[in-house]
Structures are given as structure tokens and as C-alpha cells.
């Protein structure tokens, strides 16, 4: 983490629930162990049943795959139903957006670019540097579930 990142004075963001990040375009919602536990609990399923019903494995690096939620044939998130159907148990990737350290927060330019697709960016509530770095830390502490691909 750099000493004085571009977000040192905080960043404005309030989700307008426009849903453009959850619908219409193909994407991956990767899950950590905590995400899986929360979601399986929400559906009263064990891990295996939840993964078989709601998840898919996405090729990552050669020989590895990462666990993601499925999406519908129209590319909406599998849990989209007029709004997020699992809002209180939504994965960290969704809860921490747009405070993604390896992507949106890597530069001011990347932040502004993300704002072209998300009307919540640069509007609404001011989030402090501490809060932002809390999301970055949590994402580092809760890695996405990954497995080796069997040959």
C-alpha cells in the first residue's frame, strides 16, 4: 500500500441500486469461504449442495479454477430478481465494491473509469481512507476459493 494513495482524503460512493453491475453483462462473482458459509446458511443448504446448485468453477491460472456464482442466460446474476435476492448475505466482492484494491483503487484513472459505469461513484457518502483500507484488508484476508484442476 502506498503512503499517500489518491484516496487519502476519502472517496464518495453511495449505491443507487441501479443494478448495472449485477445485470446484462457477463461477469464473475467469486466467493470466499465466508461468502460460501453465509450463502449456504441463507439457503439452508450444505456447502456441496449450494455449490452444485448455484456455483460454477472458472478457469483461473493454468491448472487452477476459482469458485463463482452462476449467471442467468441473459447474464444477470443468478440471484437477481427485481433486486438482489441475497442482499444481506451478498458476497464480499459485492459488499466491497467499488473499494477493490487490485482493480478500481489501483489509480485515480481506474477509479474515474469505473465511475463511467457506476453512477454511485463520486456521489453520496464520503468513505474514509480507514474504511476503504478496511475493505482492502478484508479482501486480502478472505481469499477466493480456488482448486487445482484434476487431469
CB of 119 to ligand SF4, least distance (A): 5
Which residue, 5 or 120, is less far from ligand SF4 as judged by CB? 120
Query: Which regions of the chain does DSSP assign to beta strands (E)?
Result: 11-13, 55-59, 64-69, 121-127, 146-148
Q: Which residues form the interface with ligand SF4 (CB under 6 A)?
A: 15-21, 97, 118-120
Which residue, 30 or 97, is less far from ligand SF4 as judged by CB? 97
Q: Taking the C-alpha atoms of 11, 14, 19 and 23 in order, what is their torsion angle to the nearest 10 degrees?
A: 20
Q: Are strands 11-13 and 146-148 parallel, antiparallel or unpaired?
A: unpaired
Which residue, 45 or 78, is less far from ligand SF4 as judged by CB? 78
Q: Residue 36 has which C-alpha cell?
A: 460460501
CB of 39 to ligand SF4, least distance (A): 19
CB of 22 to ligand SF4, least distance (A): 6
Amino acid at each position: 500500500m502506498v503512503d499517500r494513495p489518491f484516496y487519502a482524503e476519502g472517496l464518495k460512493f453511495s449505491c443507487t441500486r441501479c443494478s448495472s453491475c449485477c445485470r446484462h453483462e457477463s461477469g464473475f462473482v467469486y466467493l470466499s469461504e465466508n461468502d460460501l458459509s453465509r450463502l449456504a446458511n441463507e439457503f439452508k443448504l450444505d456447502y456441496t449442495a449450494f455449490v452444485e446448485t448455484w456455483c460454477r468453477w472458472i478457469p483461473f491460472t493454468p491448472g487452477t479454477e476459482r469458485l463463482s456464482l452462476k449467471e442467468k442466460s441473459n447474464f444477470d446474476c443468478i440471484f437477481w430478481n427485481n433486486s438482489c435476492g441475497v442482499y444481506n448475505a451478498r458476497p464480499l466482492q459485492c459488499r466491497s465494491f467499488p473499494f477493490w484494491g487490485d482493480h478500481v483503487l489501483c489509480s485515480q484513472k481506474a477509479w474515474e473509469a469505473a465511475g463511467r459505469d457506476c453512477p454511485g461513484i463520486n456521489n453520496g457518502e464520503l468513505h474514509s481512507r480507514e474504511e476503504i483500507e478496511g475493505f482492502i484488508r478484508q479482501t486480502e484476508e478472505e481469499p477466493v476459493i480456488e482448486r487445482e484442476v484434476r487431469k
